Amino acid sequence: MRYETKMLTAADIELAAHLLRQGECVAFPTETVYGLGANALDKRAVAKIYAAKGRPADNPLIVHCHSQAQARELVRDWPQQVQKLADAFWPGPLTVVLPKNPVVPAAVTGGLDTVALRIPDHPIALDLIAAARLPVAAPSANLSGRPSPTRAEHVWQDLAGRIAAIIDGGPTGWGVESTVLDCTRLPFRLLRPGGITLEDLRRLAPVETANSGLHTSGAPLSPGVKYRHYSPSAQVILVTGKRVAENIRRLAACHGQKGKKVAVMACDESRDNYPGVIFLALGSKANLQVAAARIYHLLRQADAMGCDVILIEELPREHLGRAIMDRLQKAAGPNIIET
C-alpha cells in the first residue's frame, strides 16, 4: 500500500492518536531514536510495521506504555526486582522482557511467549500513547538493516510513502536504542546494551551479560541479534586493538589509491591523526553521550557525501561505550580489524 505520508508536529497528537486507533503506523520521537508505532493489541496493525520496515517476522517488537499500570496489564509476572528497576529507570531507555499475557498477539513477540516493555522518556511519545489509550509496539523507524533514525528527516528518507504519518520532534537525545534486559530469570540477562548501562543496572539487581546473544542450543536469546543492523551503503570497517591510528592511515591510503572516497569516524582527540580525509567527529572521549547521539546521523551523512568506505576507531567498551561499540560492531558486520 502506498501512503501520502503526513509530516506532523507535537500540535497534531490527537490526529496521530486517531491514526493509531484506526490501525495505521505513525513514526514518533522517543528519547532514544524515532519509533514506528502501531496498536500493539491489533495484529493487522502490527503486520503493517513489519511490511513498512521490511523487518523479518521473527524479530519481536518493543511495546511502549505510558504508565507502569499499563505495562503490568501485558505480563503474567511482575517480579519485585523489575519493580525496583522500573521505579529507578522509567520513563527511560530500559526495556524489560517478561512472560506475556495472552492479550499480546504473537505477531508482536515474533511468536515468543515473552514480551519486551518500556516507558519512553519523551513528552511527544508519552502524550501520543496516552491519547491513543493503547500500548504501542514500536521498533526503530528505519528500513530494516539501515542506521536507526535520530531525526524526522531520516524517517522520511526511509519510510515516506510506506506509513501514514511522522511526528517531527527534532533530534532525539540519547541516539542509541534502549537497553534490553531478559527478566524471565535471575540473574537478569543483558540482551542488548543501551542507554541504561550495565553498571547502572548492577547497582540495583544481579545482571549477567550474554555476549554471544545465543542460547547454548544455538538459538538466539534475542532474535534481533542475528540480523544485519545499522548499515549505511558505504562499507564500514571497525579498527580495534593497538596501533589503531597507524592501521587506519594505512587502510585509508590503500582505499584512496583505488579511487575510493574514504571517511574516518573517531573522537575529536584523534582528528590530527588523519589529515586529508573526511573526518566524522564523535565529540570528546570525555563525553560519550555526544558520540551516542551522533553515530547514526554520521553514518547517514557519510552516505549523503558519497563515501565508499568508513573507517572507525574503537572506543572503550564500558558505560555508554558498550552500547556504542555494540552498534558500530554490527554496522561493520565481518569487517573488524584487530591488531
Which residues form the interface with ligand AMP (CB under 6 A)? 59-60, 62, 97, 109, 112, 114-116, 139-140, 177, 180, 191-192, 222-224
**Contact partner, 12, from Mg ion, ligand AMP, none, Cβ < 5-8 Å per class:** none
**Contact partner, 288, from ligand AMP, Mg ion, none, Cβ < 5-8 Å per class:** none
Helical ranges in the chain per DSSP H: 13-21, 43-53, 68-72, 80-89, 123-132, 152-159, 198-202, 244-257, 288-304, 320-332
Regarding 140 and contact with Mg ion (CB under 5 A), the answer is yes
Count how many Cα atoms sit within 13 Å of the Cα of residue 288 in the half-sphere of its side chain. 16
For 220, which DSSP code?
A: B
Measured from the CB atom, the residue of 140 and 329 that comes closer to Mg ion is: 140
Q: What is the CA radius of gyration of the chain?
A: 20
Measured from the CB atom, the residue of 61 and 264 that comes closer to ligand AMP is: 61
Residue with cell 496493525: 45
Measured from the CB atom, the residue of 3 and 227 that comes closer to ligand AMP is: 227
If you write DSSP's letter for every residue of 279-328 in order, what string do you get? EEE---TT-HHHHHHHHHHHHHHHHHTT-SEEEEE----STHHHHHHHHH
- Least distance from ligand AMP to the Cβ atom of residue 317, Å: 19
Residues binding Mg ion: number (CB under 5 A): 1
**Contact partner, 63, from Mg ion, ligand AMP, none, Cβ < 5-8 Å per class:** none
CA dist 237 and 240 (Å) reads 10
Contacts of 259 (CB under 8 A, 6+ apart): none
**Contact partner, 30, from Mg ion, ligand AMP, none, Cβ < 5-8 Å per class:** none
Stretch that binds Mg ion, among 36-44, 133-141, 153-161, 284-292 (CB under 5 A): 133-141
Beta bridge partners of 235: 309
- Least distance from Mg ion to the Cβ atom of residue 55, Å: 8
Taking residue 31's Cβ as centre, other Cβ atoms within 10 Å add up to: 18
- Least distance from ligand AMP to the Cβ atom of residue 32, Å: 8
Q: Which of residues 257-276 bind Mg ion (CB under 5 A)?
A: none
- Least distance from ligand AMP to the Cβ atom of residue 220, Å: 8
Stretch that binds Mg ion, among 50-58, 136-144, 243-251, 328-336 (CB under 5 A): 136-144
Beta bridge partners of 29: 34
Q: Which residues bind Mg ion (CB under 5 A)?
A: 140
